[in-house]
Amino acid sequence: MKDRVSILDGNTFLVSDDRGNIEPSYDFPTGLFSFDTRFLSTWFLTIDGQRLHALSIDDSLSYKTRFFLVPGEPTHYLDANVSVIRSRAIGGSLDEELTVLNHSEQEQEFHLRLDIDSDFADLLEIKNRRDKKGLTTPTVEPNGLRLTYRREAFRRETLVTSSAPVEVDADGMTFRVRISPHGEWTTRLHVSTIIYGARGEDIRAILPLGGQRTAAEIEAEQSALISRAPKLGCDCEPLASAYRRSLNDLAALRYESITLGVRLLAAGLPWFMTLFGRDSIFTSLQVLPFLPDLVKPTIIMLAGLQGSRVDDFRDEEPGKILHELRYGESAGFEEQPHSPYYGAADTTALFVILLDEYERWTGDADLVRKLEYETRAALTWLDTYGDLLGTGYVWYMSRNPETGLPNQCWKDSPEAISYADGRMPEFPRATCELQGYAYDAKMRAARLARTYWQDPAYADRLEQEAAALKERFNRDFWIADREYYALALDPRGRQVDALSSNIGHLLWSGIVDESRAPAVAAHLLGPRLFSGWGVRTLADDQGRYNPVGYHVGTVWPFDNSIIAWGLWRYGFRQEAGRICDALLSASHFFDGRLPEVFAGYERGLTDYPVEYPTACSPQAWSAGTPLLLLRVILGLEPQGEHLIIDPAVPPGMGRVELLDIPGRWGRVDALGRSREPHEEPAPPPLGLPGR
């Protein structure tokens, strides 16, 4: 069984041990969380002073689970006279039903003790192992315990109530129950998580979508979302399983934005249960052919929070798209710059790419016209603040070395960017994929300017700038004697010569010279980068290679999905199919749920992909990976009013059919045959926050 069990509804989630218990921890975020605050740090059940042991766990649904428990540690011979069932569901708050069953022939008396506490820790405090500034105050109430945390105007509360009579003290609840022979006893516990606003009310209570939801409401909403996705029929069970799991996880990861009052995708459990620019954009790109209605709120939210000033603390600059938005105490008191934080050099170009891709799939010209100002501002950022050294490339260096991210590309851990021998380059840095994104953004924006903004001169200029960037890039980044592109340039313009998975993103962007694409593809599928389970982030002969290093040798499913897409775009159907097959094979060992990252060990060394200990799961762009892989397998590409079908089906995969694909052409099946257009109610209009 699992060591940790999680349930979630958007960015409200609970992580416990396999007994359903929560114990105080700053090593891993166990507890009940909502909007970046831990509302329960202790939730520990004993019976007659004994710990409980898990016999079985039913966690097939994302928002509820059941634990079947007995007292003590079982021996070879188990003959428990009592058992306990803990059934819980989450939906902004937590509901838990405790059932005690007497299996003996005599009436029994039991003492159930539930220890309860909350440290109200900020998720970033746990991540950075920092202690809290304030204290929790317990208040005993009739049949309930209220825990309160205050720090100036910042106020959070946890209220625990019971449906059965209970003895309440400052540290928890005690139930003294008598149960008849072969009888049972039940109580229902309700845990309210209260986030006070300026007017003394729970801010979620006034949100348009309601904030707190029942399990039935969650199930109905998730089922409705999944029913709108295309129907997959295939002979490959790993693909079918991964597709089902991805749709379920994407539905579960949606949360209601306090700012806009719409549902957005949280990036990943447990650390990233909020809006992330990069993750949200890549996930949106992955899901567009399948769930296009998930994408528009993300685009509008990112546009509404676009940078408008120079703010060193937040790494904010005019036109820049955010990196991360947090709601917790450390952001509120500006101990962390995440309100929001803009320390990403790739999100701005990716925003433009997403807007264009969204229009290609949906035909939503109104949104393109509405966001003309924001798109132009993003393109201006690429050529001004993004080009720190005035060389025509996008560079990054944090404005705030104390709290800002050093690496501001998708590989943002400290050791991620290095020379082949392991040395670290100075700042600023210009990683290769940033240039590819900038090239792609300008090419796509040229189409938007010519078609929707009625500005052909601007379109011509963007295309000329993109062509010059492509020529310059292929001159400065290409390592001729090794036949691959450098990972980055250092401040002196020297090549940071590590061989990395980033070169796959270059194929996706289209910046690779056609004559060099075969060499790039050969490296990606060669033994130095390709583990058999996927493409490693760093080749295994590089100085900093580590198969369990976060960005220096592990395999990232999202990364591989973009690489497969890039290979497909350059015509490498067989190579793209190999990556799809490898990732789907790996997903089988994770019960269909690809984690954030897994180890880069050679496939011949293990019969299964090795887990990475602190990987987020579920994570949005890993949940989106099977969808993008399926797009590559079927070769789906929108072009005007038509859908191109150009498959890259791996050998042995068999039949793959996708029916009722939503798009601007009505609906088609995976063979490109037109189906009856399907009328759907228009979503409510969305406004731009802050505009």
Q: Alpha-carbon distance 319 to 308, whole Å?
A: 6
Amino acid, single-letter form, for residue 474: N
Pairing of strands 4-9, 263-265: unpaired
Question: Which among 535, 508, 358 is positioned nearest to 439, based on CA atoms?
Answer: 508
CB–CB of 160/116 below 8 Å?
A: yes
Q: Please tell me the predicted confidence (pLDDT) of residue 30.
A: 92
The whole-angstrom separation of Cα 511 and Cα 373 is 26
Listed as ranges, residues in the chain with pLDDT below 50 are 76, 672, 674-691
Kind plus residue range of the DSSP H or E element containing 179 = strand 172-179
Determine the pLDDT at residue 691. 37
Q: Are 257 and 266 in contact (CB under 8 A)?
A: no
Rounded alpha-carbon distances, angstroms, from residue 117 to 142, 163, 255, 482 = 17, 19, 25, 58
Indicate the pairing of strand 666-668 with strand 642-645.
Answer: unpaired
Provide the percentage of residues in the chain whose pLDDT is more than 70.
92
Q: Which residue has the tokens 């040798």?
A: 553
Cβ density class 584-603: b for 16+ within 10 Å, e for less: bbbbbbbebbbbbbbbbbeb
For residues 266-278, b (16+ Cβ closer than 10 Å) or e, as one string? Answer: bbbbbbbbbbbbb
Give the pLDDT score at 645: 87
CB-CB contact of 656 with 239 (8 Å): yes
Say what the pTM is.
Answer: 0.93
Region label for 330, one of left (φ > 0), alpha (ψ between -120 and 50) or beta (otherwise)? alpha
